[in-house]
Amino acid sequence: MGAAQLDRLWYNRGMSTPQRTPTLAIILVNYNTRELLAGCLDSVFAGRCRYPFRVILVDNHSTDGSAESVRCHYPAVELVESGRNGGFGFANNLALRRLAARPQPLAGQPAAEIPMQGSAGFHFGADYILFLNPDTVLPPDALETTVAFLEATPQAGIVGPRMEKPDGTLDLACRRAFPTPLNALFKLTGLARLFPRHPLIARYNLTHLRADHTTEVDSVMGAYMLVRGTALGQAGLFDERFFMYGEDLDVAYRIKARGWRVFYDPAVTVLHLKGASSRKRSTHAIREFYRAMHIFYTKHYAAQYGQPVSTLVRLGIMLRGALALAVNATRPAAQKHVS
């Protein structure tokens, strides 16, 4: 990649910038959401951001013409076409490999890439990395405000905004505690919904806290998750065993384990047209949701608990998943969803 090509990777409106200019990479993963993707990209490029950024879109083998549309209408977007739908983590890792190529190769010299799977401790060619879903619409100040938050909060490894559904209600998944066995028990049994203000019972979705206050949390939503490049470099790539749920929790867990903090900041509100892709395959999505819970528990908690507890947890996940599939099967097509 030559120097002239490299310069075009960074989208900048020619605005004056300070001597040190943080760089931002935006990574989107798309699967058959062409119309929503266009709205998302329009909001990205229409916003105001004094930081140079590049947009990498990984199309997960869509069949709705998404890749062709992006190639035609969004020349500033770096399009990566996957030969298969390997899941959310798989696609993000394709983009991260691209981003982790040496940021300034000599003209005519190929960029050195990191392997798809590898240990932590590598460098990405951007100060901040935004993982963004195509079913989001950003307000004009989203990019600038969230990057500024991490700039001003050096101990923060991740920040996420307030996420709202189309009806204006808070998307509860935008600020979460980790699904420990106790947190998962309260959520899966419905107790968290019955006692939304109880600080222990409602801990998973933190509904006992005010949604208009900046709060340190365990995890934010992968639909808009801004990560410090250094923190992700220490934690490592996405775990590709998670297909379409749980990846954001897993990344946050590994980043926090290395001493970084995670924040929910409602200074920005992002519209989340949730479930556009998964609703088309709701049965598959439900199975993947509960499979992700099983993977997360086994990876991060099973060693802390004895076999009887682990058996009960896994049985609970299996039974709750079976119930969710049964209930979803009775819903009209327009009302099908994951949880």
pLDDT bracket for residue 317 (50, 70, 90): confident
Q: Where are the domains of the chain?
A: 3-175+211-276, 280-335
Contact 166, 294 (CB under 8 A): no
% of residues, the chain, pLDDT over 90: 62
Tell whether the model's pLDDT for residue 335 goes beyond 60.
no
Tell whether the model's pLDDT for residue 101 goes beyond 70.
no
All residues at 6 or more sequence positions from 18 whose CB lies less than 8 Å from its CB, including other chains = none
- Separation of alpha carbons 240 and 23, rounded Å: 26
Mean pLDDT computed over 161-190: 93
% of residues, the chain, pLDDT over 70: 84
Element (H, E) at 84: none
Contact 161, 146 (CB under 8 A): yes
Tell whether the model's pLDDT for residue 3 goes beyond 80.
no
- ∠ CA 168-142-259, nearest 5°, is 105
Tell whether the model's pLDDT for residue 324 goes beyond 90.
no
215-217/128-132 β-pairing? unpaired
Q: What is the pLDDT of residues 205-247, one digit of tens each?
A: 999 999 999 999 999 999 999 999 999 999 999 999 999 889 9
pLDDT bracket for residue 120 (50, 70, 90): low
Tell whether the model's pLDDT for residue 155 goes beyond 50.
yes
Question: In this structure, is the dihedral angle defined by the CA atoms of residues 12, 48, 166 and 220, taken in order, positive or negative?
Answer: positive
Tell whether the model's pLDDT for residue 118 goes beyond 50.
no
Q: Which residue has the tokens 């947190």?
A: 183
Q: When comparing pLDDT for 223 and 1, which is higher?
A: 223
Pick from 314, 126, 292, 322: which is nearest to 219 by CA? 292
In this prediction, residue 8 carries a pLDDT of: 42
- Separation of alpha carbons 162 and 221, rounded Å: 10
Identify each DSSP E strand in the chain by its residue range. 24-30, 53-59, 77-81, 128-132, 136-137, 156-164, 215-217, 224-228, 261-272
Q: Compute CA distances 284 → 176, 279, 297, whole Å.
A: 24, 9, 20
In this prediction, residue 104 carries a pLDDT of: 38
Contact 69, 159 (CB under 8 A): no
In this prediction, residue 302 carries a pLDDT of: 85
In the structure encoding, which two tokens stand for residue 117, read together?
């799977």
Tell whether the model's pLDDT for residue 16 goes beyond 60.
no
In this prediction, residue 323 carries a pLDDT of: 86
Q: When comparing pLDDT for 200 and 2, which is higher?
A: 200
Tell whether the model's pLDDT for residue 13 goes beyond 70.
no
Rounded to the nearest 10 degrees, how much is the dihedral formed by the CA atoms of 242, 247, 249, 251?
120
In this prediction, residue 112 carries a pLDDT of: 38
Contact 163, 146 (CB under 8 A): no
Q: What are phi and psi of 65, to 5 degrees?
A: 85, 15
In this prediction, residue 107 carries a pLDDT of: 34
Q: What is the pLDDT of residues 259-299, one digit of tens each?
A: 999 999 999 999 999 765 455 557 888 988 888 888 988 89
Residue 306: is it exposed, middle or buried by C-beta count within 10 angstroms (0-12/13-18/19+)? exposed
Contact 128, 227 (CB under 8 A): yes
Q: What is the CATH number assigned to the segment(s) 3-175+211-276? A: 3.90.550.10
For the entire predicted model, the pTM comes to 0.85
The radius of gyration of the chain from alpha carbons, rounded to an integer in Å, stands at 20
- Separation of alpha carbons 44 and 318, rounded Å: 39
Element (H, E) at 135: none
Pick from 170, 131, 119: which is nearest to 252 by CA? 131
Q: What is the pLDDT of residues 23-82, one digit of tens each?
A: 999 999 999 999 999 999 999 999 989 999 999 999 999 999 999 999 999 999 999 999
**Among 102-111, 220-229, 254-263, the least confident range:** 102-111
**What mean pLDDT is reported for the chain?**
85
Q: Is 68 helix (H, G, I), strand (E, B) or coil?
A: helix
DSSP state of 221: -
Q: Compute CA distances 21 → 15, 80, 127, 281, 293, whole Å.
A: 11, 26, 9, 42, 39
